[in-house]
Each structure stands twice: as structure tokens, then as C-alpha cells.
Amino acid sequence: MSRQRPGMRPAGGRGRRRPALVALLALLGGEGVGATAVTVTAAARTGAAASDAVVVFEPLEGAAPATHDTATVDQINKRFVPRVTVIRTGTAVTFPNSDHIRHQVYSFSPAKTFDLKLYAGSPKVDVVFDKPGLVVLGCNIHDTMVGFVLVVDTPYFAKIPPAGRITLELPAGRYRLRAWHEQLAGTPPARAVEVGQSPQSIALTLDLDAARDTAAPWP
Ligand SMILES: [Cu+2]
């Protein structure tokens, strides 16, 4: 992302120039430039916050800017942490093992089939999620370990925190908003959203079935 042109580098005083450079990079990164705050509240039919639901805004016009993201899914006390991860297609994910026992992380999901041989500490390789879809994580040693990586073709997504509400910064335009939760009953809801210049709020009510024994499909 940062580029240096030969001859542009000052012989001295780099420290003085840095704040301006940082500000410029922040601008180029698009944060706050032409973006509108969109707040999504997600709740179950009971009114409880739909914590760990994922909301995805797919732009219906124009190309989304390129992003080069990484993500980490840790293993702590025989659990995947976080249990739910949402990433853009092409993201490399690291699976460190913070437990004092070994784990063998794998997935049979069509969007990403992989197997990290039994390991402790840091695995030798990251896993690149190169196709969109839902990837269900498991451990070959501990059957109760379950995690989810939702891989989406857009940089505009968020996971609903325990408070049930999240704000995204979206460029103006038309989107398809889709939502997912591992306990969703039926197909994930989708709706059209028009983002203009004014902040807006969207309330989603999700049909959650706590008795589901397999994760809801995506999309
Ligand atoms: Cu394990």
C-alpha cells in the first residue's frame, strides 16, 4: 500500500513528516471518504440480540476496492476463538493453538477443504480462503470443537457483537444486504438497501432455532 518514489525521500526530518504521511495514507485508505454510517441492529424473534450474526453488504453497482486482509482463529480451552469469523475471499487465516494440547484443524466444506496436521503453537502455514461460502471448522481430536468461517465476495461486512448493534461505513450506492447466523431457520434473509449521504439504521429480525444441530447454510 505504501509506495516510495525515488528522489522524494527527505535526507532528514523523516520524523517530522510522518504525521502528514499517516494522514495521507488514511485518506487514501478511503476511511471516511464518501462513506455513510449504516447501523444494523440484529435481534432474534424473542427480542434478544442476535450475537454473532453476520451481516454482508454486496454492492450491486461498481467495483469494491481491493483489500488485503488477514485474520486469526485461535484455539483456547478446546474452542475456536472467535467461533464465527467473516472474511473477504482471498484472505489468509492463521490458526494458532494457544492450548497446551495439540489440535488438528480441518474442514470438509466445499468452499475450503483443508487439514492442518496435529500441531501445537503456530502452524507452519496460513490457510487462504479463495472461494466464497461457509467453511465449518472442526478438530480431529476434539469433536466438540466447532467454528465457522464465512467467506464473502465483498469488503463490506460485520459480525454483530453481544450488544446486538454494529455500524459500518459504506460508500453511497445500492447493496444487497444478507444476514447469517449459525442457528438461522430457513434461508438467510436478503433485502435491497440504498445508501445515500445520510446515516441510516436497519433493523433485522432473525428466525433463530437454538435446537438446530447443523449450521444454517450460506447463502
Ligand atoms: Cu482439538
Nearest to 204 by CA among 50, 4, 98, 31: 50
pLDDT on residue 62: 87
C-alpha of residue 3 to centroid of ligand 1, in Å: 42
With pLDDT > 70 as the criterion, what percentage of the chain qualifies? 85
Residue 30 Cα distances to 21, 25, 68, 80, angstroms: 14, 9, 14, 32
C-alpha of residue 142 to centroid of ligand 1, in Å: 4
Q: 3-class DSSP state for residue 171? A: strand
Contacts of 210 (CB under 8 A, 6+ apart): 183
Residue 58: pLDDT over 60: yes
Say yes or no: do domains 17-53+164-219 and 65-153 share a fold: yes
Q: pTM, whole model, 2 decimals?
A: 0.84
Label residue 18 by pLDDT band (50, 70, 90). Answer: very low
Residue 199: pLDDT over 70: yes
Domain ranges of the chain: 17-53+164-219, 65-153
Residue 129: pLDDT over 60: yes
C-alpha of residue 126 to centroid of ligand 1, in Å: 17
C-alpha of residue 78 to centroid of ligand 1, in Å: 6
CATH 2.60.40 fits 17-53+164-219, yes or no: yes
C-alpha of residue 143 to centroid of ligand 1, in Å: 8
Measure the CA–CA gap between 10 and 147, rounded to whole angstroms.
Answer: 49
Q: Which fold has domain 65-153?
A: Immunoglobulin-like (2.60.40)
C-alpha of residue 140 to centroid of ligand 1, in Å: 6
Mean pLDDT of 55-75: 94
C-alpha of residue 38 to centroid of ligand 1, in Å: 38
Q: What is the pLDDT of residues 23-53, one digit of tens each?
A: 444 444 444 458 999 999 999 999 999 999 9
Torsion 25-169-154-91 (CA) sign: positive
